Structure 1
Amino acid sequence: MAEHPAYPVGLRLTGRKVVVLGGGQVAQRRLPALIAAGGDILLVSPTATPSVEAMVEAGELTWEKRPYAEGDLADAWYALIATSDTEANTLASAEAERHRVWCVRSDDADAATAWTPATGTSEGVTIAVLTSDAKGRDPRHTAAIRDAVVEGLRDGTLVAPHHRTRTPGVALVGGGPGDPDLITVRGRRLLAEADVVITDHLGPRDLLAELPQSVEVIDAAKLPYGRFMAQEAINDALIEHARKGRSVVRLKGGDPFVYGRGMEEVQALAEAGIPCTVVPGISSSISVPGAAGIPVTHRGVAHEFTVVSGHIAPDDERSLVDWQALARLTGTLVILMGVGTIGKVAETLIAHGKSPDTPVALVQEGTTAAQRRVDATLATVAETVVAEEIKPPAVIVIGEVVTVGPNPSK
């Protein structure tokens, strides 16, 4: 067997039985990849490391607390033998041979029918390095080659060109209000050409599922340290990936410049000397009311509409909104990010002269399959939000336009 090289192959283990014998350090290192591959994992071992026990407690595998027994490998597709009992390893390896189960042995590579390569990932590509024969097996050498390839791909010193048109720099793309069909044609094209996508939680998630596996998707909502530092982390990530020669799309919900902090990112990129393309998006301030049958303007009813951020309450000293002036307007008032403050907003508008009977519509998850519209008035909106369990994201429309069209929720 040693005279012939091993045949490299990628195993698709999703839902297929994988048996791991031994719960020590070898199993601890190998189990995460087997779990990620979707294997139906059975661990057979009298003991396990705390890390392995945590995987069991998380429901990622089944653990039978006992030594190996004949028949454990029946119906298995793949086996990892990693116990400290050489005799048990030999018996299990023989059983695997009889059942034609590909088997890795941590104690005796020559006796195994499969070897585990040194693996790493970069931009959705798995790098696997495997020694060609048993005599020349040198795990440290293969790991070093793996590390060099992965690091080279990550820092740009090893270039693997994409066979498609690339857009250099960063594209700041407005993804629209949520429905994936409402992104612009240009935005969708740039997204298809991206190497890296840094997305907000309000971006059209369905579009991400269409991306090739080679595209790295970064959830900006999970970047660390709170709001201000998170924005700095997003800026840094945009700059870092662009400098590595990658085509980067910053995917935002709605429009990048409507409460999207898009200009902060444009400024950071400009200071770093990185070109940035801005692709406007359909703002939820007009599209979500429209999807719910509400025109923000209508002849004879409203000649203007005003869009306000409600993330800061009117009585907060940080508020930059002239609520007294807004109360005097006769047009439409659209409030974004206002679910948590709508009670204070309504109270303030009424205090400054707005009629308590002014119609209000709350549109949750607008343009998506989960869209829901609930109507109220300024006097009742606070209690309605609680009673109807309105949750963000929701667009709030205040004004007579709420009553103009048919209400699909009725």
Structure 2
Amino acid sequence: MTADLPFKLPQFIAGHVWLVGAGPGDPGLLTLHCVNALKQADHILYDALVDHSCLKLAKQGAILEFAGKRGGKPSLKQQEITERMICLAREGKRVLRLKGGDPFVFGRGGEEALALIEAHIPFRVFPGITAGIAGPAYAGIPVTHRSINHSVLFLTGHDADGTVPKSFDWKAISRAAPVLVFYMAMKHIDEIADDLIKGGRKSDEPVMFITHATTSNQRIYKTELGHIKQTIKEHDIEPPTIVVVGKVVSLADKLSPDSVTDELEDELDNRSL
């Protein structure tokens, strides 16, 4: 695929590490740089949120090593992943650190890059499409819309120790942007919703849960800020889930793929009458 392009992509040099975003799940959202990295890497350390269909693009003989971290499940510690990455590079391997979404958007890519600098390992960073934008788009939610909002705030749902971020000023966050997009928030979403309401958000504000964003398993659940707990219990919603808060959620009634398909089918039916 990459060999047929009218331009050159970078060469993956032995002993180097590439930190690459694999996007939110749909393999069609892989960047050309990601495909190029997969075609050249000797050793691929991939995260839990990397869709396995993407790994089929790896070159023959490449070693695929799971290095995912999922809350509440047995997984490697970040320090172990970083040390593994450095060790492989020192062995002369082309090391691909493949991350779901974007390496620098709640992906700890910054920490890994700093560790590589300290270890004197040459590296490059290639962005990926983050789930906080792609997931809502696939659900029919534009995170910005000039008639509704001109800003959006992306937040993590937990701190480094797994608790709700202690540094958050919930009153300020509630006023900061009309649209809030939360990553990794399911463990504390009840508490987060309460904090937002106490901070000034309305309890009837639209909320959308988007699970397994952009994949064939994507599911969307619309609710209101004050009814989050009941919705989670009713549908047994679990991670990985993006949570969108704001009036733009209501646009999904018209813009979601199912809604658009139904509307077009109705229009075609009416034309045939």
TM-score range, shorter chain: 0.7 to 0.9
Structure 1 contact 167–193 (Cα < 8 Å) conserved: no
Q: Aligned to 2:222, which of 372, 375, 378?
A: 375
Q: CA 1:318–1:333 in 2, change beyond 3 Å: closer, same or farther?
A: closer
**Structure 1 residues 192-203: aligned runs within 5 Å:** 192-203=39-50
Task: Give 2:153's aligned amino acid.
Answer: T
Following TM superposition, by how much is the alpha carbon of 1:320 offset from its aligned partner in structure 2, in angstroms? 2.1
Aligned mate of 2:100, from 244, 253, 258: 253
Q: Deviations over 1:62-109 (max 9, x none)?
A: xxxxxxxxxxxxxxxxxxxxxxxxxxxxxxxxxxxxxxxxxxxxxxxx
Contact 2:153 2:176 in 1 (8 A): no
Q: Which has the higher contact order (CA 8 A, sep 6+)?
A: 2
Distance 2:138 2:68 in 1: 26
Cα distance in 2 for residues equivalent to 1:317 and 1:376: 22
Q: Which residue is 1:303 aligned to?
A: 150
2:123 paired with 1:276: yes
Aligned to 1:394: 241
SS of 1:324 mapped into structure 2: helix
In structure 1, how many angstroms separate the alpha carbons of the residues matched to 2:248 and 2:233? 24
Contact 1:167–1:190 at 8 Å: present in 2 too?
A: no
2:55 to 192, 196, 208: 208
Residues 317 and 249 from structure 1, CA distance in 2 versus in 1: closer, same or farther, beyond 3 angstroms?
Answer: closer
RMSD of aligned alpha carbons: 2.3
Task: Measure the CA separation in 2 of the matches of 1:240 and 1:185.
Answer: 27
% identical aligned pairs: 39
Going from structure 1 to structure 2, the CA distance change for 1:262 and 1:228 (only over 3 Å counts) comes to farther
Distance 1:296 1:280 in 2: 19
343-352 or 211-220, larger mean C-alpha shift: 211-220
Deviation at 1:167, TM superposition (A): 2.4
Task: Give the greater-gyration-radius structure (CA).
Answer: 1
Structure with more helix by fraction = 2
Offset from partner CA, 1:177-231 (integer Å, 9 cap, x none) = 11111111011101110000000001132121332441111111279xx999711
Where does structure 1 lack aligned partners over 5 or more consecutive residues? 1-164
Residues 255 and 283 of structure 1 are in contact (CA less than 8 Å); yes or no, is this contact kept in structure 2? yes
Residue 349 in structure 1 maps to residue 227 in structure 2: no
Structure 1-normalised TM-score?
0.56
User: Is 1:243 the counterpart of 2:110 in the alignment?
Assistant: no
Residues 1:266 and 2:113 aligned together: yes
Question: Displacement, 1:354?
Answer: 0.9
* Equivalent in the alignment of 2:267: none
Cα distance in 1 for residues equivalent to 2:204 and 2:244: 14
CA–CA distance in structure 1, aligned partners of residues 30 and 242 of structure 2? 19
The within-5 A match list for 1:11-26 is none
What is the total number of aligned residue pairs between the two structures? 242
Q: Equivalent of 2:35, from 188, 205, 216?
A: 188
Letter in 1 for 2:13: T
